[in-house]
């Protein structure tokens, strides 16, 4: 099941702008290796789930996958063949807003070669350019 | 043997000068402590990165300032690759310092062959020890870690005279059976499941009561 918040203050949100780089959530914390975005964008809940499945299928019972992003933003859309106007559309999907530098996923308990292969599979699902990073020494 | 870093005294201040320095291959740094004057320094980027890569906590400054120093704090860029700034704190050989040291697992757990996985839970611990005996990292041998067993902070092999500030019963690593992924029971009916709106339903109920 795709991720979404349990409770929200408002059902609909404004689109917003993605400015600057990630100053938080931009390094590996839980695992040994991470997948870091180099672009800003929205990652939908379905995409996060697709990435999780792709990684889990590769990892199977080995290692552990950590998802570092959560879709807090509701994205609305107007139905097809509807005239413009008549107010804002209804929530369509939920998305995580990511800035360049955000770590999307982390893996622990596997070798670097396995983590690279796993993230390569996962990266194909992502709507943003990503890169492989390691845990920082200090 | 502490890593030796060649440093120069830096006269330039401000973000523009710092950026120029970084482009030219040096990192702005500062040295303070022991009630002495604070000195602005510049250190070679490659040397500093090598020291970090080797896990050095106490370094030997050479050049404009000749002193032992503890790497107290480092600022990293957004990508976590480049070092932006370093704080050095003066230390003497007999001084006790508090440092955060990484914990590394070595070996192959026999529990893995039985279908378990090794989870590394505590990756850093804060220890208090002599400045001369700060370890680069704490190595934990997991060759004897069987399925269902755990290594705690109290089991860590610390240098002589060192004390660990962490919770002694905290689990550093354990070998457990992998947790099966939860069954996907919750099916969205018509794809219209929505989160609860804070304050929304309450108002509706109040309206109905009236």
| Residues of B with Cβ-Cβ distance to A26 under 8 angstroms | 78-80
Q: Exposure string (b/e) for B87-103, b if CB count within 10 Å is 16 or more?
A: bbbbbeeebebebebbb
pLDDT digits (tens, 9 = 90+) for A17-36: 999 999 999 999 999 999 99
A40 touches chain B (CB under 8 A): no
A62 touches chain B (CB under 8 A): yes
Neighbours of B183 (CB within 10 A): 6
Q: Is the full-model pTM beyond 0.90?
A: no
Length of chain A: 138
The order of strands in the sheet holding B150-152 is B117-120, B171-176, B150-152
Q: Which 3 state secondary structure label does DSSP give B15?
A: helix
Residue B152: which H helix or E strand, with range?
Answer: strand B150-152
A50 touches chain B (CB under 8 A): no
Fold of A33-75+90-134: Aldehyde Oxidoreductase; domain 3 (3.90.1170)
Query: Above 90 in pLDDT, residue A104?
Result: yes
DSSP letters spanning B174-201: EEEPPPPPPP-----GGG---PEETTHH
A13 touches chain B (CB under 8 A): no
Q: Exposure string (b/e) for B139-148, b if CB count within 10 Å is 16 or more?
A: ebebeebebe
Backbone torsions φ then ψ of B47, nearest 5 degrees: -65, -40
To the nearest whole angstrom, how far is the Cα of A133 from the nearest Cα of chain B?
9
| Residues of A with Cβ-Cβ distance to B104 under 8 angstroms | none
Distance CA B81, CA B101 (A): 20
**Which of B187, B188, B196 lies at the smallest CB-CB distance from A7?**
B196
Task: List the domain boundaries for chain B.
Answer: 3-91, 98-176
Distance CA B187, CA B175 (A): 34
Per-residue pLDDT of chain B (210 residues; tens, 9 = 90+): 678 999 999 998 899 999 999 999 999 999 999 999 999 999 999 999 999 988 888 999 999 889 899 999 999 998 888 899 999 999 988 888 888 888 988 888 888 888 888 888 888 899 998 888 888 889 999 998 888 889 999 988 888 888 888 888 999 999 888 776 665 555 554 455 788 888 875 555 655 555
| Residues of B with Cβ-Cβ distance to A98 under 8 angstroms | none
Asked if B33 and B67 count as a contact pair (C-beta separation under 8 A), the reply is no
What percent of chain A stands above pLDDT 90? 85
A133 touches chain B (CB under 8 A): yes
User: Average pLDDT over chain A, rounded to whole?
Assistant: 93
Distance CA A109, CA A33 (A): 9
To the nearest whole angstrom, how far is the Cα of A81 from the nearest Cα of chain B?
20
To the nearest whole angstrom, how far is the Cα of A83 from the nearest Cα of chain B?
23
- Our separate counts of H helices and E strands in chain A read 2, 8
Neighbours of B186 (CB within 10 A): 9
User: Chain A to chain B, count of Cβ pairs less than 8 Å apart?
Assistant: 70
The pLDDT value recorded for residue B184 is 57
Please give the sequence-ordered ranges of beta strands (E in DSSP) within chain A, or none if there are none: 7-8, 33-37, 41-44, 64-67, 73-77, 90-98, 103-108, 130-134
**Given the structure tokens 């990503």, which residue do they identify?**
A130
- In CATH, what class is B3-91? mainly beta
User: Are A138 and B198 an interchain contact pair (Cβ–Cβ within 8 Å)?
Assistant: no
Length of chain B: 210
The pLDDT value recorded for residue B116 is 83
Q: Nearest chain A residue to B137 by CA: give it.
A: A137
To the nearest whole angstrom, how far is the Cα of B137 from the nearest Cα of chain A?
10
Q: Which CATH architecture has domain B98-176?
A: Beta Complex (2.170)
**Which of A5, A11, A136 lies at the smallest CB-CB distance from B80?**
A136
| Residues of B with Cβ-Cβ distance to A91 under 8 angstroms | 194
**Given the structure tokens 């931009």, which residue do they identify?**
A26
Distance CA B48, CA B69 (A): 13
Q: Nearest chain A residue to B54 by CA: give it.
A: A137
**Given the structure tokens 């440093």, which residue do they identify?**
B7
């Amino acid at each position: 099941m795709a991720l979404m918040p349990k409770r929200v203050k408002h059902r609909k949100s404004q689109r917003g702008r993605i400015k600057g780089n990630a100053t938080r959530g931009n390094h590996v914390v839980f695992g040994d290796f991470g997948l870091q975005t180099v672009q800003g964008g929205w990652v939908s809940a379905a995409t996060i789930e697709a990435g999780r499945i792709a990684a889990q299928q590769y990892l199977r019972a080995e290692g552990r996958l950590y998802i570092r992003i959560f879709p807090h933003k509701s994205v609305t859309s107007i139905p097809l063949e509807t005239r413009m106007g008549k107010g804002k559309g209804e929530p369509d999907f939920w998305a995580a807003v990511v800035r360049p530098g955000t770590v999307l996923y982390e893996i622990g308990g596997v070798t670097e070669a396995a983590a690279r292969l796993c993230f390569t599979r996962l990266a194909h699902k992502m709507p943003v350019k990503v890169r492989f990073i390691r845990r920082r020494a200090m | 043997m502490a890593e030796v870093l060649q440093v120069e005294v830096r006269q330039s201040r401000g973000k523009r000068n710092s950026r120029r320095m970084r482009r030219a291959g040096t990192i702005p740094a500062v040295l303070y402590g022991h009630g002495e004057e604070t000195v602005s320094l510049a250190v070679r980027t490659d040397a500093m990165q090598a020291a970090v890569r080797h896990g050095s906590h106490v370094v030997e400054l050479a050049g404009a300032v000749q002193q032992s120093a503890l790497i107290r704090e480092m600022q990293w860029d957004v990508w976590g690759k480049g070092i932006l700034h370093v704080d050095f704190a003066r230390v003497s050989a007999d001084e006790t310092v508090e440092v955060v040291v990484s914990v590394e697992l070595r070996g192959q757990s026999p529990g893995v062959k039985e279908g378990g996985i090794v989870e590394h839970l505590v990756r850093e611990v804060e220890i208090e020890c002599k400045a001369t005996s700060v370890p680069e990292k704490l190595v934990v041998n997991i060759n004897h870690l069987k399925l269902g067993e755990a290594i705690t902070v109290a089991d860590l092999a610390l240098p002589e005279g060192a004390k660990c500030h962490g919770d002694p019963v905290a689990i550093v690593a354990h070998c457990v059976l992998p947790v099966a992924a939860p069954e996907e029971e919750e099916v969205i009916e018509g794809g219209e499941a929505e989160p609860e709106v804070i304050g929304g339903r309450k108002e509706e109920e109040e309206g109905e009561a009236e």
